[in-house]
Amino acid sequence: MAQDDFAIVVGISRYTRPRMLPLQGPENDVKDFYTWLVDSTKGDVPAAHIIKVLSSDRAYKGDQPTMEQIVDKFAELYEKAQAFANDPENLKKPRRLYIFLAGHGLSWDVNSAALLTANANYDMLWRGRHVSGRWFAEWFRDNATFEEIVLLMDCCRDTYADTEEHKPWPRDPSPAAADVKIFYGLATKGGAQSREQILPEGGKNWRGLFTYALLDGLENAERDAQGRLLGEALRVYIVKRLKEISAPGIEQDPRIEVQPPDGIEWVRRAEPTLNEVRITVLPPQNALIEVEDPDLDKILATFPADQPFDLPNLEGGIYNLRWPDQSEIGFEIVGSNQKIRVTVLPDAAPGKQVHYDR
């Protein structure tokens, strides 16, 4: 488990101010990303290290969560990370921070991005109620609390140049900040909108296009020779996938910054633990038998049927034994890291021709 990773995920669908339409995707996006985070084969982040905020939570009513409430959650996250770092049982400092924000949003220049809280709107008096995701990411980067920072914002970035960025705490840059690796993913370019639609096509749930492309990429983007999904490969996939899933007439151009390009390893494909298999044909035969792989497109081995034969590196799957006269018998390997003896009885009745001893 990635015991040294932390996350804060915020989804706001309910807005109470005039001219602020409710959204249908942000909470679904947070739930989907949270599922990825806690999955032991994916993000593998301990649930106790994740702070989740949804506008539908019982803790929040009416025009909540507010900016102040979400800032308090960031402070809580920082305290969790500091407690982890100061625990003598932990051998190193926190590794990665995920910040995921979804809802209405705005910007004030080409680099900024902020989530509007539930009690905000785009009027001058109310758009100051926001959470500047990039500011928080840079704050954590400045003090080098984490070795890596992932910022993901599925929010619009309509430009309101006279907006004053809310900066809740002083910044105190550390020389170690230069070594912090980052992946900053903003759903769209400055001044543009991010979109939501029913995904997958034919489904029932609304999702943000950016989050959907992100999670699709975490499953399907190209891995390197070591089975790793690195930041630049994920960026390329998200840009491509957004074009494919957007409804006709919709163009969404994300802004994704990765430093260094190969610095953040999102996931690594697990190496299968292989089985040791011994095949014995009874009674022994004077014949050469081929072992076909589960896809039936490759001969893994050919062995004489008059003596036991060892296959040391078999994954789980259904394999096929083929005789010179083209008769065949299949056997199935289930599980991993086992020593399995497969006894084949060609003359037995169908269904009783294979016996296993594990």
What CATH number is associated with residue 297? 2.60.40.10
Strand pairing class (148-155; 339-344): unpaired
- State the total domains in the chain: 2
Helices 209-220, 26-38: axis angle to 10 degrees equals: 20
Residues 51 and 157 in one domain: yes
Residues 248 and 342 in one domain: no
> Can you list the residues of the chain whose pLDDT is less than 70?
1, 270-273
Residue 122 domain boundaries: 5-268
Residues 141 and 182 in one domain: yes
Q: What is the pLDDT of residue 279?
A: 95
Q: Chain centroid to CA 261: how far? A: 18
Q: What is the pLDDT of residue 201?
A: 81
Hey, CA dihedral for 277, 268, 242, 45, is it positive or negative? Answer: positive
State phi, psi for 277 to the nearest 5 degrees: -120, 130
Q: Which of 212, 242, 268 is the last residue of a domain?
A: 268
Residues 79 and 172 in one domain: yes
Residues 320 and 246 in one domain: no
Cis geometry, peptide bond prior to residue 88 (ω within 30 degrees of 0): no
Residues 203 and 321 in one domain: no
Q: What is the pLDDT of residue 271?
A: 60
In the chain, helix, strand, coil percent, each to 5?
Answer: 20, 30, 45
Q: What is the pLDDT of residue 272?
A: 62
What would the pLDDT profile of 30-83 be if each residue is shown by its tens digit?
999 999 999 998 999 999 999 999 999 999 998 999 999 999 999 999 999 999
Cis geometry, peptide bond prior to residue 283 (ω within 30 degrees of 0): yes
Q: Which of 242, 268, 294 is the last residue of a domain?
A: 268
Residues 87 and 226 in one domain: yes
- In sequence order, the β-bridge partners of residue 259 are 182
Q: What is the pLDDT of residue 270?
A: 63
- In sequence order, the β-bridge partners of residue 288 are 304
Q: What is the pLDDT of residue 62?
A: 87
Start-to-end Cα distance in the chain: 29
